[in-house]
Amino acid sequence: MKKKQSRVLVVDDMPINRVVLLSLLATHGVLADQAESGMECLSLCEENAYDLILLDHRMPDMDGVDTLVRLKEMFQEKGREIPVICHTTDEGRQNVNLYKAAGFRDVLIKPIDPGELFNVLMMYLPDEEEAEEEDPFEAAADQPEYSPFTEESAMEEIEKLPMWLKVVPHIDLVQGITNCGSAEDYLDALYIFYSSIEEKAGEFEQFLSAEDWTMYALRIHSLKSMARLIGARKLGEDAVFLEEASRAERINDVRMRTTAFLQSYRRFAETLAPIAGEMDHAPVKPSQNTKPEAPQKEEAPDLSHSVLFIQGGEGIVTKGIDNHLSAAGFRVISIPDEPDRIIAHRKSADLIVYYPNANEQSHIGIAMSLLGEICQDDNKLLCLVGDTADLETAMASNGAHRVSRTYQRPITIDQFVRDMQLFSDLERDFHRRKTIFVVDDDHGYLSVLEHWLQASYNVSCFQNGEDVLAGLSTITPDLILLDYEMPQMDGCELMKRIRTEFPDTKIPIIFLTGTNDRELVFHVLESKPEGYLLKTSQKEALLDALHRFYAETLFRMSL
């Protein structure tokens, strides 16, 4: 199923429900945006073109039906029709006909069945090419997340690879390059894969001899993820079969297929041997300390204590705000609400205060639309100050969904300044270099993740739960990326212990796993992590997901 150019909007007021749908959509390579309210849905649909909307029925303020009515009006004005699918709780099953009568194209019942979602995507998303029928779960397992890579850009990176690698059999270089993001990163991942072949092959033989099917399944599961990452499709497919057979304890299948599998696996040690001469460093091994040394990015200027004050006119109130902010130590950049001036100063501050003015009402809608886009793209915080009528005009405009706080005249200036100081601290924390704990029992995949993340984050890697708990006693990370399938203590057990033994830390946890089985997904989400990502995520998709997580956290804390 090829849907890479399709774009879906997920609307639900519950973050955990959005996580489920976004994760399931990602397994099909579908690009998705999210909204937590009907108003935000309408705003995003004004700004973007979507192929499908998944709209929750029960939401505060504006429910799904009210939102659908507004959407229909908008579609009619734009001269296009977008299918809108209602997703609702089991209680709504008896009202399916009513939902369809209201104008919904179809209905999905929560918890969303991945197979039913697959059918909806196949039915309502535009086809880009014919695809053979296949099992949705198998298709999902093979599909990477949406990639910004084009075939042309992938081929440009492939040209940078050594000639001997271009003739190595059983490796899809396009897939490997796309997953890793560049020729350099792909070579690093390939070297990590090559360096661990003999060690892992020996482990398979050991677990097979001991009939330790639990450890055999865990190791084959890890190898499956690495094989897919580098584009070793056939090896990954064979690993899928052996993982399923070992978990089902089909012993004869495991014994019959393991020997041939290990021969194919070890053959990569021969065909990839020249890579040792291509690398100028020793085999990569993930750091195990809680204060890893990582390449430091050049520090960006601290704009958090600067305010871009956009004024729809000058007067005693605007001068008073400027004076009080300056007295509190803020650097204030005052400009009129003219688009060219706003664009010219978009990089001047992380905090934006807009004072709309009815005398310049035509500017309000234009300025708000532009400010909403800037704050969305640059992760800035936006506040409005003004008369009631002007604030209502602004909040009815595009971009209102990015407003953190409004202050109606006459404002309490002391509270306003305290809020600006709070927002300044939030922005400073957002731009601070974050520390991430990565937990996975496969040291090869840990090495790849550390390499991907260390340019932007301080990274500490752990291969088991007990080491993580020991690390948490000395340092509190900003995020934990947690594998689910690990020996001794799986990801859910570890998350429960973290929240029990360190209740005051409130460390966000995002699961990063190679399994997209429906039952496992919902089992994990019952523990309410902050996110769920697949190991099939490409490098840029993973980095973007982490950036969006921190950006959304910043905005949520400002409300």
Q: Tens of pLDDT along 523-538?
A: 776 777 888 787 877 8
Buried b (16+ CB within 10 A) or exposed e, 465-480: bebbbebbeeeebbbb
Q: What is the pLDDT of residues 328-343, one digit of tens each?
A: 999 999 999 989 999 9
- Check whether domain 151-278 has CATH 1.20.120, yes or no: yes
Q: Residues spanned by CATH 3.40.50.2300 within the chain?
A: 7-142, 435-558
**Helix 443-453 × helix 213-230 angle, to 10°:** 40
Over residues 218-264, the pLDDT tens digits come to: 889 889 989 989 999 999 999 999 999 998 889 999 999 999 999 99
Outline which parts of the chain fall under CATH 3.40.50.280. 306-431
Average pLDDT, the chain: 84
**In whole angstroms, what is the distance from residue 406 CA to residue 432 CA?**
27
Can you give the pLDDT at residue 257? 94
What's the farthest any 2 CA atoms get from each other in the chain? 85
pLDDT, one tens digit per residue, over 41-52 is 999 998 888 899
By the 8 A CB rule, do 454 and 280 touch?
no
CA-closest candidate to residue 52, choices 41, 65, 63 = 41
Q: What is the dotted CATH code of the domain comprising 435-558?
A: 3.40.50.2300
* Residue where the block lists tokens 């909007």: 9
Helix (H, G, I), strand (E, B) or coil at 293: coil
The model's pLDDT over 417-428, given as tens digits with 9 standing for 90+, comes to 999 999 999 999
Q: Over 80: is that where the pLDDT of 282 sits?
A: no
Every domain range in the chain assigned CATH 1.20.120: 151-278
What is the value of pTM for the model shown? 0.70
- Long-range Cβ contacts of 411-416 (<8 Å, 24+ apart): 411/321, 411/385, 413/320, 413/321, 413/324, 416/321, 416/324, 416/385
Please give the C-alpha separations between residue 349 and each of 185, 259, 312, 333, in angstroms, as whole numbers. 34, 62, 18, 8
Q: Which CATH architecture has domain 306-431?
A: 3-Layer(aba) Sandwich (3.40)
Cα 483 from Cα 192, distance rounded (Å): 19
For residue 312, give the nearest of 254, 235, 275, 367 by alpha carbon: 367
Asked, as a colleague might, if the bond just before 529 is cis with ω within 30 of 0, I would say no
More confident residue, 119 or 161: 161
Say if residue 375's pLDDT is above 80.
yes
pLDDT in tens, 435-470: 999 999 998 999 999 999 999 999 999 999 999 999
At residue 306, φ and ψ (nearest 5 deg) are: -115, 150
pLDDT score of 283: 44
Residue 146 has pLDDT above 60, yes or no: no
Q: Give domain 7-142's CATH number out of 3.40.50.2300, 1.10.3720.10, 3.40.50.700, 3.10.110.10.
A: 3.40.50.2300
Residue 66: its pLDDT value, please?
86
pLDDT at 267 over 50: yes
